[in-house]
Structure 1
């Protein structure tokens, strides 16, 4: 089985070498007595440039290699890894994995994913777009971004602009005879600025992350966006303690969806460490809400035809009419729970929160502000105050106070708190203003009520 047809492309040649190495090591593991074996091998290359105040701060070229082997002697498991692909290092890694497996306790849930679940179809997902940019070009691009941001009156300093180019090649193979090849690119631009006035200084940023460099917003637009966000924070106030509706901007709203995924993931469930334990088939969100995983989305940030165990991915609802339709499982957690893998070993793929509301409206950002009416728009959260065991949510926040659907003034040094169970049930609307820079795709999310702690 091969995820990508063989060509003369250099990246394909590297994938061929990784695949040959993986198959050879699996054969050697079986010869050493392993009943099952799996290999994950990768080559990551990249260029990273940071520019501050027009001068180069750092230039970094990377070429990292990884090789991980897991062997099973019955239901005893051993794993070892190395970043060195020379024969001696590979042999030492194999020896270590086998030695570990011989002395570990048996685990009834251990083993490869079921052979019947292995992917057999490998469509082109349009995620391979090498960026032909050299160091000089990246430096100049970073300078253009920063120049655009610093040109705004009121911007007093810069934390710098970043340009990153990345290419990743990966092979997963196992003793079922599965060999999956993947290659993908991910590139990013960023800028962080500082603005000041008589009341103090504020910092903010913006970034763009894409599979293909042709999809980037222009350097000038990114610089303008970072400057506008930074300047908008000047004159920030604190709020008195109160309760009010809260609108999470898209880039913050995806964190709420991430907490949902964590709470319904297998590891949390079989450890009984989730506030959504035993909630499959129960309503956890409003009846109009739908969240669906689309792993085969072309050019998606999380697209993939198979998961980290070779299991075929497929479109699948996570939330259907507000009901939790399933959990997020790899083969190990599925066995612990008496269920079947959902093709999510290694994580979720392109989770899409469908826009809408109780009245089925699909609002842009301005429309979501009007729905908020008077309340808090959150554009930044801080701290780690999320407990997925109890669902308690309490985080530092900053953003804007909104009155009558219009931004009134910036706010800072506040805390927002509620329970995730109540927050999910209290979602009033999801905007059509989707942030495309992540595998968690959602617009802004309006929650009916939270406690805001301030002065």
Structure 2
């Protein structure tokens, strides 16, 4: 059975879990054996466990202390090309047998699907690099409370007008999982994720404005200091005081780096297998065509150390690969799992479960440089609403941010709508900043779009 390995140092730090890796392996193997004995022609199983702690304070007082410890198992069985799925959080032998029986019962009543089945055996991962994803944080609850208080105090100390708070939160989570199937594959994942966040309210006369900031990372040592997170939240809230609308018109629009990943998210959805084989994407048949501005280069890198979407294999065990997804604006690949690939007459790209780390190459300098390039237009720091049509590409979102003239922020802006079509927005990208967002799986700097419609007064 093909299996992954982890570094010895990681193996020593898993005392917080209820199950050892060996026990998870044994659970997965038992389910596969039960499915085969019950008549399944193929089976896969995903066993997972997670543990975490989250502490929140507001105005210096502890609001919540939460602990979570979860486990679960999903079982998918095949009877030829009929598929059934069932899940359980009970790992007793009787429960495992009942779960397999339930999945088989479902399979017997489903229609045959010529594209159903496990991933092709030759595509399964064989090499398992250490991606440095697991960094447990031994954080006593008292220490977490102290960090949250430091964060909130720093936010409120920015200015006397920050009198109220929605609180500060410090969270630490870790998880482990086994994916195994009847092709003999078994892969293990071990990861952690920690965060510090704060949201405060600034008030001047009767006008109030809220904003927030957060830091998130695989390792606590990579987090911003709690006080720095708080100060950033306070500064952002304060900067929004005096916001007003602007006149309706067509303007250049600069997306803050924290929002630019959302533009990539719409792109990922549009070129993912489900949208493509259902014919419900504005980027149908776009492979090999100019989708973005010639300035745009995007790499998908599943092997980024400590990356938020790093993995040696996808949700089906298919080996992931580093690839040039977009070069000079031209699309060179879709995001496909085995099922969607078969529906499209293509091969899996190792993206069952979603995209991996997307790295967008910068073409310009930091935020100050991007504001100069914007010249006169709208710098967007917040988006609201869900006005994105994945079928047509039509885009309309409520927005807030700052009006910029000659590269200098003049005043905050609120209650406006920015609109366009994603085809035009992508092709209208004229600069990408070096102020790269590192808190998510989409690593991109601020994005300047040549022109969008802004609806205001």
Scaled by the length of structure 2, the TM-score of the pair is 0.97
Picking from 240, 252, 263, the partner of 2:247 is 240
Q: Which residue of 1 aligns with 2:61?
A: 55
Q: Which residue of 2 aligns with 1:415?
A: 417
Shift of 1:332: 0.4
- Tell me the SS of whatever aligns to 2:72: strand
Q: Aligned pairs, how many?
A: 450
Gaps of 5+ in 1: 357-361
Q: Which residue of 2 aligns with 1:291?
A: 298
Q: Which residue of 2 aligns with 1:266?
A: 273
What does 1:183-262 align with in structure 2 at a 5 Å threshold?
183-198=190-205, 200-262=207-269
* In 2: Cα distance, 1:159 partner to 1:104 partner: 49
What does 1:416-455 align with in structure 2 at a 5 Å threshold?
416-455=418-457
- Tell me the SS of whatever aligns to 2:334: coil
Shift of 1:187: 0.3
- Tell me the SS of whatever aligns to 2:24: helix
Picking from 138, 144, 153, the partner of 2:150 is 144
| Deviation per residue, 1:110-140 (Å, 9 max, x gap) | 0001000000000110110000101111111
Q: Which residue of 1 aligns with 2:98?
A: 92
- Tell me the SS of whatever aligns to 1:262: helix
* In 2: Cα distance, 1:119 partner to 1:220 partner: 42
Shift of 1:14: 2.0
Shift of 1:94: 0.8
Picking from 79, 82, 89, the partner of 1:83 is 89
Q: Do 1:291 and 1:352's aligned partners in 2 also have CA atoms closer than 8 Å?
A: yes
Shift of 1:447: 0.3
What does 1:31-42 align with in structure 2 at a 5 Å threshold?
31-42=37-48
Q: Which residue of 1 aligns with 2:12?
A: 9
| Deviation per residue, 1:240-274 (Å, 9 max, x gap) | 11110000000111000000000000000000000
Q: Do 2:3 and 2:188's aligned partners in 1 also have CA atoms closer than 8 Å?
A: yes
Q: Does 1:405 align with 2:410?
A: no
| Alignment RMSD (CA, Å) | 1.1
- Tell me the SS of whatever aligns to 1:106: coil
* In 2: Cα distance, 1:387 partner to 1:398 partner: 21
Shift of 1:411: 0.3
- Tell me the SS of whatever aligns to 2:163: strand
Q: Which residue of 2 aligns with 1:180?
A: 187
What does 1:364-383 align with in structure 2 at a 5 Å threshold?
364-383=366-385
Q: Which residue of 2 aligns with 1:329?
A: 336
Q: Which residue of 2 aligns with 1:74?
A: 80
Q: Do 1:193 and 1:204's aligned partners in 2 also have CA atoms closer than 8 Å?
A: yes
Q: Does 1:19 align with 2:25?
A: yes
* In 2: Cα distance, 1:292 partner to 1:419 partner: 24
| Deviation per residue, 1:335-394 (Å, 9 max, x gap) | 0000000000001111111111xxxxx311100000000000000000000001000000
Q: Do 1:199 and 1:235's aligned partners in 2 also have CA atoms closer than 8 Å?
A: no
Shift of 1:11: 3.0
Q: Do 2:167 and 2:199's aligned partners in 1 also have CA atoms closer than 8 Å?
A: yes
Q: Do 2:295 and 2:431's aligned partners in 1 also have CA atoms closer than 8 Å?
A: no
Shift of 1:28: 1.2
* In 2: Cα distance, 1:413 partner to 1:219 partner: 31
Q: Do 2:295 and 2:429's aligned partners in 1 also have CA atoms closer than 8 Å?
A: no
Q: Do 2:6 and 2:130's aligned partners in 1 also have CA atoms closer than 8 Å?
A: no
Q: Does 1:314 align with 2:321?
A: yes
Q: Does 1:28 align with 2:34?
A: yes
- Tell me the SS of whatever aligns to 2:20: helix
* In 1: Cα distance, 2:185 partner to 2:247 partner: 59
Q: Do 1:4 and 1:182's aligned partners in 2 also have CA atoms closer than 8 Å?
A: no
Which deviates more, 8-17 or 67-76? 8-17
Shift of 1:326: 1.1
Scaled by the length of structure 1, the TM-score of the pair is 0.97
- Tell me the SS of whatever aligns to 1:203: strand
* In 1: Cα distance, 2:277 partner to 2:109 partner: 25
Shift of 1:151: 1.2
Shift of 1:288: 2.6
Shift of 1:5: 4.3
What does 1:79-158 align with in structure 2 at a 5 Å threshold?
79-153=85-159, 154-158=161-165
Shift of 1:88: 2.2
Q: Do 1:193 and 1:227's aligned partners in 2 also have CA atoms closer than 8 Å?
A: yes
